[in-house]
Chain A
Amino acid sequence: MSRLKIANQKREWRSLDELAGQPDQEIAVLESPQGAKEWEQTEGLSRRGFMGAAGTTVAASAALLSGCIRKEAEFIVPLSERPEDRIPGTPLEYNTVASLGGTVLGLRVSSMDGRPTKVEGNPNHPNSNGAASVFAQASIMGLYDPDRTHVPHKGAEAATWADVDAWAKGAISGDGDGTAILLDDSNSPTVARLLGELLKKHSRLRVFRHDAVGGNARAGAALVGLTGHTQAFSLENAKVILSADADFLGTDGDVVRNNRGYARSRAVTETKADISRLYAVEPGFSNTGAMADNRLRLRGSAIGGFLAAVATKVFGALGSTPAGSKDVMVALKADASGNEAWVDAVAKDLVANQGKSAVLVGSGQPAWVHGLGMLMNAALGNTGKTVKLVASDVLPGLPGLDELVAVIKARGVKTLVMLGGNPALTAPAELDFKALMGSVATTVHLSDRLDETSRLATMHVPVSHYLESWGDHVASDGTMGIQQPLIAPLFGTISAPQLLGRLLGSELSGFQLVQETTKGLAGGTAFGTAWRRWLHEGVVYGPAEGVVPLAAGSVAPVAAPAAAIEDESAEGEPVEGDVDGGEAPAEEVAPVAVATWDFSKLAAAARAAGAAGSGLEISFQLDPRVYDGRFANVAWLQELPCPVSKLSWDNAALVSPATAGKLSIERGDLVDLTVDGRTVRAATFLVPGITDDVVVLTLGHGRGEVGGRFCGGGFNAWPAKGASWFAAVEVKKTGENHKLVTTQEHGRLDPKLNTPVGVYQPKRRPMVMETTATEYDAKPHFARHEPLFALKSMWEQPNVTGGHQWGMVIDLNNCTGCNACTVACNAENNVLVVGKDRVAKGREMHWLRLDRYFTGAEDNPEVVFQPIGCAQCETAPCEQVCPVGATSHSPEGLNDMAYNRCIGTRYCANNCPFKVRRFNYFNFANENHDANELLRMQMNPNVTVRFRGVIEKCTYCVQRISAAKVAAKRSTNDGIVTDGTITPACAQTCPAEAITFGDINDPNSMVSKKKASVRNYALLADLNIHPRTSFLAKIRNPNPELA
């Protein structure tokens, strides 16, 4: 068996070498005198090689330095003494940061014998607070993406690194005239510093930024004179939240931070629900809309007018408009038509909660709406309370892609260097950027694959993943962190700072470049000490006036960058100190006085704003799975069901049933969507609650082979999208059909049946218990219903007490349906992907699924989410029926699966009332490994990879429980695991803190306390199954005035 394994691994490495164009190692292997093939260290990929790179402790930074440099193939012998902290099979954890889908997250990554296997949030980083988003969880697969390029390319032809070096040497000559650099949405001080140095050398070099998603927000800040400022929300302080097309709980901006804040603003006591109120105004149906207490369906083009109407009311009620904003007031085109009650109610609520409210504007809204949102937050006194206004942009005020296009058209550009991004895909269609690229003599694109832009570029330079390169990022609240690699680049790729370094003719490594940037941040502390602490804790702590050393005047206007960083005591702390030190890593800057804002541009923009459209309108939105397309080749995400539509493997033109009726289209009909003469084809899918006369199409799908092997599904919306995220659209049926698959066909808890004797309409099933805040105050124990059909049990309740008794509580009041738990479970438990056809058959393997139910009116329903994994029933129906006893109960109350014993009768799956058991209908493990030969590196070695023909299901992450018990036995006398030590993957990543796990035998554990809550109820308690997972009922807080 072990021989076989080694042979397999061997083959895998070899094929990679071949892919990488490395010389064949076969001869050397054959001639190896020891015959110890498995110890041979091939380029960058040997297990031991990773250990050399990543197994080294941070304290030994010198070792890190050398460890990251790829070594020559050589033979090494097993260690004669095991170094401390290096235990095979025991993961090491490192903190890093990454820029992932519009937000910077502090991450804590597990390294298993040198392979990064799992991403979690870094508790020290205020943007993640220990949680991670869907994108962060899935980003590990970006590292092991089989379609990454390994070598530079010139056109479609493979080139060598020597070609890149040769080009870089003379790329920018003289004053740099005719050379442009295009940045993406990242916010890296090192990149900024290096650009500054480049500008020092080449004064006429031009730098632009293409932020396809965040561009409107940047421009909005500029409109109110706050160029380079971002809003970082602290929604935990909010009582009233207004979302203007902002899916701040799903895809838009700092979702992890906002989920946490929002969830905390919803905390109820046992007797009173004094919670925040969320108003969502949106064209589609997002997670935020699903969580909203009051949700208004409004087309994208009408949202600006709506917000203007609210603003007018608010400013009217406040009695004074912010100084200098009078022009804005005059210019605003308030349009409350049909929604007067809404405008009145929202404005009243906002005014009543000054300093405790927040207005969030979605990426898809034009700049002036963002500006207006910032103005409203300032006028309502929210700044410094619910909103931090931080000058976080390290390169503020960079001209955008439109200006680059203008320059190319006007004067021509000879050399265009694109550091990341994918402008050929994401550029607004009007700019016709693809065609313009052809007019530039040299276009160099740094990206991880031969994507849309790289295929058009004259040279493609493969970029390193964030887990294999050094970097740094400043978050929206100004927190800076060092991006620390966990593994040497798998394919010898380089990072953006490294490419800039080469352009500067520098020989420094990525590590040295980043260190150079942060040299000035240590303040009085010795740099080495400070640096180790930054890496260890994942956040840069520096002097209050910490300024990223960017040469003044080098790049357009450079404002004071990255926020203030807390002064750190001169004493260097020992690196191995307590990680959860609990100190605030970054301090916000003083609120910018509204009086100093410049409103002239906002007034002009508001004046120029168009009126709300009528007729059919398309709304482009970020995709909750692939964002703008950058995560499109992650199979986990492709298979992940959309939060509300539950579509898997495809996106679709989402319409409300009413709109579909009007257009006489049905599910799966392929339609041609024409926007300004640009046509894209998409299949339609009906989702109740989408605004009527609106077609919602998410971006980033349908990239085909260009994106990678998993990108074939769905429809590419980018070619139709102009600068505006909404536009009038013409819908034409093609008569063709496309199969759309969804993981949940039934969305009602009270399914209707038509019978000849009338409609059979059963009562709503007591699955998701919810009430309103007012009713909760009157009757807090509403969820404690008697079992509806209490069955008498013939048996005695099995004795599952004593020792540890594991249990879980899921707070439905917190869960926003963001899907992060599902992907975290995929990564932790080696849950496999089955593909679209199998999902269509209903064979998806997700151990943890998010059930979505529509409630209320059919045309404007509410949505509730319910995460369902194995409930670990004490009297588990599955255990009784297995003929071979492959599933049985552990003394700690876990419903265990012995995969080896399972013969696959599937009786347990039938008898499971939650239907959480998953069957390996085919050899999914082999299929997955065949589809992605790098997948093995991600697999968690502590979890069995299941074979064909066996049942699998959620285990409460039993591997983590066992590890904690082993640790407790070694370190404590009684061997008792303290509460909070064990966190299953789902609970750990949940940004909304909805999942609590622990020992229900310990009355003081968090889970016991939550189970004692009046809101606690067991799902399907009628069946006498005594599930260990219980739920806390959901409380909505709708405005009675809008009832």
Chain B
Amino acid sequence: MSTKVYTEDNQLADPVAERAPLVLGGLDFHDVTEMVVRPVEGKTQPMWVLAFLAALGLLGVYGLSVAWLVWEGTGVWGLNNPVAWGWAIVNFVFWVGIGHAGTLISAILFLFRQKWRTGINRAAEAMTLFAVACALSFPTIHVGRIWLLPWVFPIPNQMWAWPNFRSPLLWDVFAVSIYGTVSLLFWYTGLIPDLGTMRDRAKGKIARFAYGLFALGWRGSHRHWVNYEAAYLILAGLSTPLVLSVHTIVSFDFATSQLPGWHTTIFPPYFVAGAIFSGFAMVLTLMIPCRVIFQMKELITVRHIENMAKIILLTGSMVGYAYAMEFFIAWYSGNDYEVFAFVNRAFGQYAWAYWIMISCNVITPQLFWIKKFRTTPIIVFVLSIFVNIGMWFERFVITVTSLAADFLPSSWAYYSPTIFDLGCLIGSFGLFFTLFTLFVRFLPMVAIAEVKTVMPEADPHWHGYHDAHDEAAA
């Protein structure tokens, strides 16, 4: 074993001299495999059953809320005449934002050779997919006549009725569905070697068949690895612009309209920064408990947490800058409607929401300047939840305050949600956690093959081999 000196947060005392290992605890390849497959191959834990049932219960709430919504009409929500978009759109943007972290970690960090990503990319990508699923559910249930939703797709028909390609909502349809598709492909491609591992280790017939089916005949041959890595690189390249484009296009829903407070050129970068901000917060919210529950502290180390906290600090500062810049531009534009929209956000009827947003999104991430906070998982966990709350409120503030008070004061109104708005929000968490609990039970939540590539043993010239060689020679 190595005799290097590490600080407690897994950093080398002298980072220039040598890189710190990404996997701690002196694990070898086999230990990593065993550690990751334990939750999948082990007995069903009562805790997992409880968590799954709770998530399923919330999903049931979603089902009932949506059923009532479709049966009765959109009016079961709290929408009104000026505020025609409410929590459903807030939730949509919130979930799409969360869906940014996974692909960013997998693709962009992959391209940037950030090897620490391997510890968290599988779970983060899964989170992305589930968040995108939640996100997609909202525009679907949000329309007044859900049964006519296929009309948003350019399906040739005898009426020659095409969708309106000028509508940002249509761009949304394409942007989010492409993002979801590519993310799924990317995630699945990364899973294939591990599915092979699972198949090979499977004891039951069904498990062997299922894993085998999805492993697509993976044998780990040299040719497989070459094709796999090429495919993975291509998908990473494809995903990278999508990470930036999805939320840009989601922001167009607002930015291309002409409402004061929506009609803002800063929205695309501001939305992307916010999305990464919220996505990383959600990754932390999920991974910090997971590494404890599934005993993977050696794979998902404090260093991972700290890195993510740093990204939150960066993107959180960008979001804070955007908030300030919105105000400045509103004033600088000389447009009274814009100025009013922003002053009204901060001091009008929705000031409470605005200040929740500011506290959570601007103040909270600044605490990560303190190293102690970055490296204490429980603090990071708590702060990440604040960021999640803050980012939900950001979307609420944007969506609702601008609609509630626009040009003609005669039509201004106050929007408040109903129990069905709430049901859809917490219900979407049910959908998310149902999928996530199934994921941790049936799929390896850490990319086994990828983690191994960043272990010292992956290097053919690793001194451990030399030591053994030397011993043998001696």
Contact = CB atoms under 8 A, between A and B. Distances in A.
Interface string B51-88: 00000000000000000000011110011111111000
A166 interface: no
B163 A877 contact: no
Given A789-B333, A1023-B258, A915 B411 contact: yes
Nearest to B86: A906
A920 B405 CA distance: 21
Contact of A880 (B166, B405, B410): B166
A901 B336 contact: no
Contacts of A760: 343, 347
B211 to A, nearest CB: 40
A906 B343 CA distance: 26
A753 interface: yes
Contact of A913 (B75, B253, B407): B407
Given A883-B167, A913-B406, A755 B347 contact: yes
Contacts of A51: none
A744 interface: yes
Contacts of B166: 880-881
Interface string A898-916: 0001111111011101110
Interface SS majority for chain B = loop
Interface string A961-987: 000000000000000000000000000
B406 A843 contact: no
A847 to B, nearest CB: 12
B161 A901 contact: yes
Contact of A841 (B80, B164, B344): B80
Interface stretch (B32-40, B144-152, B377-385): B144-152
B85 A921 contact: no
A851 B81 CA distance: 15
B337 A789 contact: yes
Nearest to B168: A881
Nearest to A918: B81
B249 to A, nearest CB: 13
B167 A881 contact: yes
Interface residues of B, number: 58
Nearest to A764: B336
A909 B81 contact: yes
A156 interface: no
Contact of B75 (A748, A843, A877, A950): A843
Nearest to B338: A789
Interface string A458-481: 000000000000000000000000
Nearest to B418: A841
Interface residues of A, number: 62
Contacts of A922: 72-73, 75
Nearest to A767: B408
Given A842-B413, A881-B169, A1020 B407 contact: yes
B144 to A, nearest CB: 2
Interface string B140-174: 00111100110110000000011110111110010
B65 to A, nearest CB: 16
B257 interface: yes
A749 interface: yes
Contacts, number: 182
A852 B410 CA distance: 7
Contact of B145 (A756, A844, A853, A902): A902
Given A746-B409, A748-B409, A904-B143, A921 B161 contact: no
Interface in B296-329: none
B20 interface: no
Contact of A885 (B82, B163, B346): B163
Contacts of A921: 73-75, 79
Contacts of B259: 910-911
A910 B84 contact: yes
B72 A744 contact: no
B344 A883 contact: no
A903 B145 contact: yes
A868 interface: yes
Contacts of A754: 347
A884 interface: yes
A194 B52 CA distance: 85
Nearest to B74: A921
B343 A753 contact: yes
B258 A919 contact: no
A613 interface: no
B407 to A, nearest CB: 5
A332 to B, nearest CB: 44
A578 interface: no
Contacts of A841: 75, 78, 80
Q: For B74, B142, B152, B410, which residue has the most chain A Cβ atoms within 10 angstroms?
A: B410
Nearest to B82: A915
22 contacts: A745-B412, A745-B414, A760-B343, A762-B336, A763-B336, A765-B336, A789-B333, A842-B82, A851-B411, A868-B410, A880-B164, A880-B256, A882-B169, A884-B152, A903-B144, A903-B149, A910-B85, A919-B74, A920-B144, A948-B144, A949-B144, A1020-B407
Interface of A: 744-749, 751, 753-756, 760, 762-763, 765, 767, 788-789, 838, 841-844, 849, 851-853, 866, 868, 877, 880-885, 901-907, 909-911, 913-915, 918-923, 947-951, 1020, 1023
Interface of B: 72-75, 78-85, 142-145, 148-149, 151-152, 161-164, 166-170, 173, 253, 256-259, 333-337, 339-340, 343-344, 346-348, 403, 405-414
Given A881-B256, A920-B144, 7 more contacts: A746-B410, A747-B409, A880-B164, A883-B163, A884-B161, A901-B161, A906-B144
